[in-house]
Amino acid sequence: MNAAAPVVTLDGPSGAGKGTVSRAVAQKLGWHYLDSGAIYRALAVDLMHRGLESRNEPAVVDAAGRMDLEFVFNPGFSVMLSGKDISSSIQSEACGNQASRLAAMPGVRKALLEKQRGFRKPPGLVADGRDMGTVVFPDARFKFFLTASPQIRAERRVKQLKEKGMNVNLDKIITELLERDQRDENREAAPLRQADGAIFIDSSEMTIDQVVERVTHAVRGH
């Protein structure tokens, strides 16, 4: 870890566009990118592969600490678990929901903390998640809280999943999204909240390009 490398954090609820925006900002700045949600999602896949019971908290925490996870940029973004590409299996809503249950376990969050901080390298890092600005990188130079109305977030998620060939239902997605928001906002460990000093962006009426522009503008200072 290099404490001097600058960090930009983007936190917010599911489907706010954080991933797309963060990747674009990282690319524009030439900085590294951390998709922290992918780590929790990979843990869900890891438990499933190894037939581990997700309610067995000590076993889950142990698995979180041992996970052999790598992000590969080629130039797309691939998530490798023990050398196997799990990028498509982590995209389902079921995996996101399971990740959110595991992410509520304090021991799991603790086991994954240093793994996340290890992504901080020169020339800088763009990190997206729920607690990037509050817990993982509290000293980040630029913090953003990105949100949008539940309807818009669900519509975007449906579009994204349909483009990937998945069969999805809008009402079900809204219900699951609200459940996930509830769990992420109300858990004891690192709940989703706007970090002190974070810039609030409601992207309901904005295009992805406008949000990317707003963030890069704030970071570059012009």
What is the phi-psi region of residue 12: left when phi exceeds 0, alpha when psi lies from -120 to 50, beta otherwise?
left
Question: Between 96 and 124, whose beta carbon lies closer to ligand C5P?
Answer: 96
Within 10 A of 30 (CB to CB), how many other CB atoms are there? 8
Sheet containing strand 199-202, strands side by side: 32-35, 125-129, 7-11, 142-147, 199-202
> Binding to ligand C5P by residue 98, rule CB under 6 A?
no
Question: Between 118 and 217, whose beta carbon lies closer to ligand C5P?
Answer: 118
Q: Measure the CA–CA gap between 81 and 99, rounded to whole angstroms.
A: 15
> Binding to ligand C5P by residue 14, rule CB under 6 A?
yes
Question: Between 99 and 158, whose beta carbon lies closer to ligand C5P?
Answer: 99
How many residues belong to the chain?
222
**Smallest distance, Å, CB 165 to ligand C5P?**
19
Binding ligand C5P (rule: CB under 6 A), the pick from 16, 99, 211, 212 is 99
Q: Which long-range contacts (CB under 8 A, 24 or more apart) does 188-193 make?
A: 188/104, 188/106, 189/104, 189/105, 189/106, 189/109, 190/109, 190/130, 190/131, 190/134, 190/135, 191/130, 191/131, 192/11, 192/12, 192/13, 192/130, 192/131, 193/134
Write out the binding residues for ligand C5P, residues 182-201 only, by CB under 6 A.
184
**Smallest distance, Å, CB 38 to ligand C5P?**
6
Q: Which residue is nearest to ligand C5P (CB)?
A: 37
**CB 161 within 8 Å of CB 91:** yes
Q: Measure the CA–CA gap between 21 and 42, rounded to whole angstroms.
A: 21
Residue found by looking up tokens 């890891």 in the block: 46
**Site size for ligand C5P (CB under 6 A):** 15
Question: Between 52 and 220, whose beta carbon lies closer to ligand C5P?
Answer: 52
Write out the binding residues for ligand C5P, residues 107-166 only, by CB under 6 A.
129-132
Binding ligand C5P (rule: CB under 6 A), the pick from 23, 32, 156, 180 is 180
Tokens of 14: 């599911």
Span of 51-59, 98-106, 145-153, 156-164 interacting with ligand C5P by CB under 6 A: 98-106
> Binding to ligand C5P by residue 40, rule CB under 6 A?
yes
Q: Which residues bind ligand C5P (CB under 6 A)?
A: 14, 36-37, 40-41, 96, 99-100, 103, 129-132, 180, 184
